[in-house]
Amino acid sequence: MTNLPADATLTTEGFAAVTGGRVLLLACGALAREILAVKESNGLNHLDLQCLPAIYHNHPERIIPAIEELVAKHRADYDKIFVVYADCGTGGLLDVKCKDLGIEMVKGPHCYSFFEGNDAFAARDEMTAFYLTDFLVRQFDAFVWEPLGLGKHPALRNMYFGNYEKLVYQAQTKDPKLEAKAKDCAARLGLAYEYRFTGYGDLATSLTSL
């Protein structure tokens, strides 16, 4: 650790120099609010954020080409680039690509896992749970209901959700309005409802370690 005088005051640039330079976060747009909250609460002023479209949540095949393009564009401008995605449906290919590019990423199979904590999530082994985060509760219609055609074709509910037993709302913040909406989402899908406050989990650990 760098030794500093007790009364030292660091500018943003000075802090970056002490901590090892500026870091660019390439992240899923669905995580922007949470990343900014972690950054602000921990004074992580050396981290810059650039988000890919949140809709890539539904199109994982678009993630790797977009990450590769942004790394090539910004590598010379930063001391480090960190990818704030988990595997997110890429079948392990995002991890392979990050290693090829010489950059690191958040560990885990998906954001539901790292929000709860990867070890804790794996221990649950929940195969019949459908998960929503704060973002997905807010955007339920845009990211779940309408893309799956459930508004126009309610009969599709059993095709998509017939093997699910419960909806788990993984709350990053304590917001009664979001919890009420999450309960409504569960009712619309015909699933039992479970509230689970996770906070930011391994996302916070990963960012603060930078």
Q: Is 27 helix (H, G, I), strand (E, B) or coil?
A: strand
Task: Give Cα separations from 104 to 8, 11, 54, 84 (angstroms).
Answer: 31, 26, 20, 9
**Confidence (pLDDT) at 57:** 84
Report the SS3 class of residue 52.
strand
Q: What angle do CA 197, 182, 106 make, to 5 degrees?
A: 50
- Give residue 103's pLDDT: 97
User: Which residues of the chain fall below pLDDT 50?
Assistant: 1-19
Alpha helix ranges (H) inside the chain: 12-19, 32-41, 63-74, 93-101, 111-116, 118-124, 134-138, 140, 156-161, 176-189, 201-208
Cβ count near 126 (within 10 Å): 15
pTM for this predicted structure: 0.86
- Contact between 35 and 49 under an 8 Å Cβ cutoff? The reply is yes
Residue with tokens 């449906």: 89
Domains of the chain: 12-106 (3.40.50), 116-197 (no CATH)
Question: What per-residue confidence (pLDDT) applies to 166?
Answer: 98
